[in-house]
């Protein structure tokens, strides 16, 4: 049970303690960090007493879960609302605990003057140390209540967390980290693209300047929402600091009638005293145990073959069947037919919305191709983009009013497609019927659910509808999964523009980027790994000549980059030389042998030289590990550095083996040869490391460690 007093409630997980003070008008967090084993809430409250400074209020306004204008708090407000200009000074009069346990706290706060109720939910997962927080606002007054902003929560961060790392990017360059020193003032990232976005992933790290992958305190925050959002970290002039995240609402988007409520997206947060990799492992454990379906957890992730970069829109059943045969021969387990299969879809300017196989290409529907793929021993998957419509389509010609738009301006052109208004029941019903029919009539195991444009003008009947659009999408996905529970769904949005925990709760896989360049992918996947475990991140071996960067890489390097994710292929198999095909087969075999470890183990990102990127996966019992060292640029030194492993059992002995690339020719005797017949302690591997063989830029080594005790 939760340790409680009149004012305090304590939530505890394996490694974290959170203490909430509910004795005031609004709840606040007075401690969140390493687990306390010999300290009481009263001690923490006493330690937290602050003096007031000259030139400031005589009584310091507390930093609560939801700071308000009415409280007089001078920093970022957790909520902004009004009734035609009144009720702006909303502030609860009391906080009542509705539910309290060692892992969950539910608090109701009421403003009896303005008739507004806040309901805060705080949950601390015991095994992962991940917090989930949300706020619900209810209008109990007679007049409508306009809600302009409601953070999922406001969390305090300590003064020693003096550095912030956010996640920026662009199309084909997602999950790029940007680090800045904390400063007096506000760090703000806002997204109004209508989807999670390429350029402003809703994640943030607050940490010490000296924190590394393996040491130092780190706080992580992620908003599980697939639409507009606001990320804020603020340091006040009095030294206090906070983080807020929430849905960025458009003007007049949320107007609550009497009795109506708004529920914020969920803010996920975690703390680790042991660096960024340990923080990521917290989030990975949470995703695996709480967001993924049982089916996704229990089924090995099959090797994909995706047709996009092989054929684009040039569909020919004979060629596709030949690709399926070759894909199966090299080791594919799922064949995904990408864009171009449906009516009128010879390019990206027509056909979206008409979800029937093009009779000029597939006169007997998809069944003959599906049967052929299954006869080759593979599952069949299909690309779809349900939320979009081309003006050149039967659907748009019949229903031109079914789109999101502004009332007084033309729609911003974007890929010759428009966004369907899912908030209209007729549109929602039509889409459900289309894809229910498609999945019922065909043996489809997997949908690649794409979304290839921003929602620039999300209007419906003259009102903004982005919030309702996202909720309608979630409901559509949930309804289709309930009707077709065996079908897996990937969230793709011209790459990584819709990757977040909100969409992941309704899907099984994310597509981190349209960029299959192995060198770029290593950095993209590294950024994604801060919040997403490897098994949900699709990683494909692309063409020899990358279609995005015009850069060429060896098959061995491309395969190494794709190995540590949900592995697949996306290129024309006819381009393979005999040697490349042998390397590809070996890589896919290696993935199948090691995917249980890669998709269930603990991630360790390693501190690397500027010319390298390194990380590894270690099993929970530390009996085996898989590590990679990728040389991304020319090194400054003439001889390679030592590679120090992480996460092993210091007292155990391990066999170390270089398993990729096969047949590496060393220039001279090296440490790997010297240790080939020797077992080495985990302590030695972690503290001394192994001297790496000389490699060239844009090559990668993969090491296997096996405990031999």
| pLDDT attached to residue 671 | 82
pLDDT in tens, 110-121: 999 999 999 999
The rounded percent of the chain whose pLDDT value lies above 90 is 95
| pLDDT attached to residue 7 | 87
pLDDT in tens, 548-590: 999 999 999 999 999 999 999 999 999 999 999 999 999 999 9
Among residues 137, 134, 161, the alpha carbon closest in space to that of 223 is found at 134
| pLDDT attached to residue 196 | 98
Can you say how many angstroms the Cα of residue 456 is from the centroid of all Cα atoms in its chain?
22
At residue 2 the predicted structure's pLDDT band, cuts being 50, 70 and 90, is very low
pLDDT in tens, 596-632: 999 999 999 999 999 999 999 999 999 999 999 999 9
Kindly tell me if the per-residue pLDDT of 337 is higher than 90: yes
Kindly tell me if the per-residue pLDDT of 285 is higher than 90: yes
- Look over the chain and give the mean of its residue pLDDT values, rounded to a whole number: 96
Q: CB neighbours of 663 closer than 8 A, spacing ≥ 6?
A: none
CB atoms within 10 A of CB 579: 9
pLDDT in tens, 305-321: 999 999 999 999 999 99
At residue 234 the predicted structure's pLDDT band, cuts being 50, 70 and 90, is very high
pTM of the full predicted structure? 0.97
At residue 53 the predicted structure's pLDDT band, cuts being 50, 70 and 90, is confident
At residue 68 the predicted structure's pLDDT band, cuts being 50, 70 and 90, is very high
| 3 state DSSP class of 369 | helix
| pLDDT attached to residue 663 | 83
Q: Which two tokens stand for residue 579?
A: 């040697």
| pLDDT attached to residue 495 | 97
CB atoms within 10 A of CB 536: 26
pLDDT in tens, 239-279: 999 999 999 999 999 999 999 999 999 999 999 999 999 99
Can you say how many angstroms the Cα of residue 155 is from the centroid of all Cα atoms in its chain?
21
Can you say how many angstroms the Cα of residue 130 is from the centroid of all Cα atoms in its chain?
15
Q: Which residues pair with 99 in a beta bridge?
A: 106
| pLDDT attached to residue 664 | 82
Q: Which two tokens stand for residue 281?
A: 């492992």
| pLDDT attached to residue 518 | 98
Q: What is the largest CA-CA distance in the chain?
A: 83
Question: For residue 469, which phi and psi values (nearest 5 degrees)?
Answer: -65, -45
pLDDT in tens, 536-551: 999 999 999 999 999 9
| pLDDT attached to residue 1 | 34
Q: Active-site positions?
A: 450, 514
Mean pLDDT of 371-382: 98
In Å, what is the CA distance from 219 to each residue of 48, 99, 283, 397, 399?
20, 26, 11, 51, 48
**Nearest-angstrom CA–CA distance, 499 and 537:** 10
pLDDT in tens, 156-184: 999 999 999 999 999 999 999 999 999 99
**Nearest-angstrom CA–CA distance, 176 and 161:** 21
Domains, the chain, with CATH or none:
3-291 (2.70.98.60), 302-456+486-594 (3.20.20.70), 604-707 (2.60.40.1180)
pLDDT in tens, 637-676: 988 999 999 999 999 999 999 999 998 877 777 888 888 8
* Length of the chain (residues): 709
User: Cis link prior to 661 (omega < 30° from 0)?
Assistant: yes
| pLDDT attached to residue 5 | 58
Q: CB neighbours of 434 closer than 8 A, spacing ≥ 6?
A: 355, 386
Torsion of CA 669, 673, 677, 681, to 10 degrees: 110
| pLDDT attached to residue 673 | 83
Contact between 431 and 476 (Cβ < 8 Å): yes
């Amino acid at each position: 049970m939760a340790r409680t007093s009149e004012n305090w409630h304590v939530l505890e997980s394996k490694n974290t303690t959170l203490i909430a003070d509910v004795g005031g008008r609004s709840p606040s967090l007075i401690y969140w960090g390493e687990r306390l084993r010999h300290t009481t809430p009263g001690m923490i409250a006493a330690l937290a007493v602050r003096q007031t400074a000259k030139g400031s209020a005589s009584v310091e306004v507390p930093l609560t879960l939801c700071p308000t204008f009415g409280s007089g708090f001078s920093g970022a407000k957790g909520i902004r609302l009004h009734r035609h200009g009144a009720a702006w000074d909303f502030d609860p009069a009391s906080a009542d605990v509705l539910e309290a346990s060692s892992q969950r706290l539910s608090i109701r706060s009421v403003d009896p003057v303005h008739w507004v109720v806040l309901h805060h939910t705080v949950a601390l997962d015991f095994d992962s140390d991940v917090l989930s927080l949300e706020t619900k606002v209810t209008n109990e007054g007679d007049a409508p209540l306009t809600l302009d902003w409601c953070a999922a929560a406001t969390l305090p961060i300590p003064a020693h967390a003096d550095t912030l790392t956010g996640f920026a990017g662009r199309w084909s360059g997602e999950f790029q980290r940007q680090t800045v020193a904390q400063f007096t003032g506000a760090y703000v990232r806002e997204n109004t693209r209508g989807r999670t976005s390429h350029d402003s992933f809703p994640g943030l790290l607050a940490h010490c300047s000296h924190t590394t992958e393996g040491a130092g305190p780190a706080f992580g925050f992620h908003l599980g929402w697939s639409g507009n959002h606001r990320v804020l970290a603020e340091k006040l002039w009095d030294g206090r600091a906070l983080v807020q995240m929430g849905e960025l609402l458009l003007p007049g988007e949320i107007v609550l009638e009497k009795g109506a409520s708004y529920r914020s997206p969920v803010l996920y947060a975690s703390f680790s005293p042991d660096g960024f990799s340990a923080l990521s492992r917290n989030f990975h454990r949470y995703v695996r145990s709480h967001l993924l379906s049982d089916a996704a957890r229990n089924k090995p992730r099959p090797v994909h073959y995706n047709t996009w970069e092989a054929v684009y829109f040039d569909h020919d059943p004979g060629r596709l069947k030949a690709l399926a045969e070759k894909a199966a021969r090299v080791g594919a387990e799922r064949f995904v037919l990408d864009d171009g299969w449906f009516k009128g879809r010879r390019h990206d300017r027509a056909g979206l919305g008409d979800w029937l196989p093009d009779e000029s290409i597939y006169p007997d529907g998809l069944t003959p191709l599906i049967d052929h793929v299954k006869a080759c021993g593979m599952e069949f998957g299909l690309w779809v983009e349900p939320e979009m419509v081309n003006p050149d389509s039967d659907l748009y010609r019949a229903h031109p009013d079914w789109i999101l738009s502004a009332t007084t301006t033309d729609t911003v052109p974007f890929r010759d497609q428009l966004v369907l208004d899912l908030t209209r029941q007729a549109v929602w019903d039509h889409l459900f019927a289309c894809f229910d029919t498609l999945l019922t009539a065909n043996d489809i195991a997997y949908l690649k659910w794409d979304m290839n444009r921003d929602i620039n003008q999300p209007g419906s009947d003259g009102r903004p509808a982005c919030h309702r659009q996202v909720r309608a999408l979630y409901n559509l996905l949930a309804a289709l999964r309930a009707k077709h529970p065996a079908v897996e769904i990937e969230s793709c949005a011209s790459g990584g523009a819709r990757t977040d925990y909100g969409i992941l709760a309704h899907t099984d896989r994310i597509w981190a980027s349209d960029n299959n360049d192995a060198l770029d992918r290593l950095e993209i996947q590294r950024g994604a790994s801060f919040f997403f475990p490897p098994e949900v991140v699709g990683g494909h071996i692309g063409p020899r000549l990358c279609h995005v960067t015009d850069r060429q890489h060896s098959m061995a390097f491309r395969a190494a980059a794709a190995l540590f994710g949900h592995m697949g292929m996306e290129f024309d198999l006819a381009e393979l030389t005999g040697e490349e095909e042998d390397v590809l087969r070996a890589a896919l075999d290696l993935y199948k042998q090691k995917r249980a470890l890669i998709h269930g183990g603990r991630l360790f990102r390693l501190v690397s030289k500027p010319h390298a990127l390194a990380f590894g996966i270690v099993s929970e019992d530390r009996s085996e590990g898989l590590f990679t060292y990728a040389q991304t640029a020319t090194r400054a030194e003439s001889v390679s550095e030592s590679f120090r492993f992480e996460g092993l059992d210091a007292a155990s002995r391990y066999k170390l083996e270089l398993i990729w690339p096969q047949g590496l020719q060393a220039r001279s005797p090296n440490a790997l040869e010297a240790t080939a017949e020797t077992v080495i302690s985990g302590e030695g591997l972690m503290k001394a490391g192994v001297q790496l063989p000389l490699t060239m830029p844009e090559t990668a080594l993969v090491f296997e460690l096996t405990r031999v005790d």
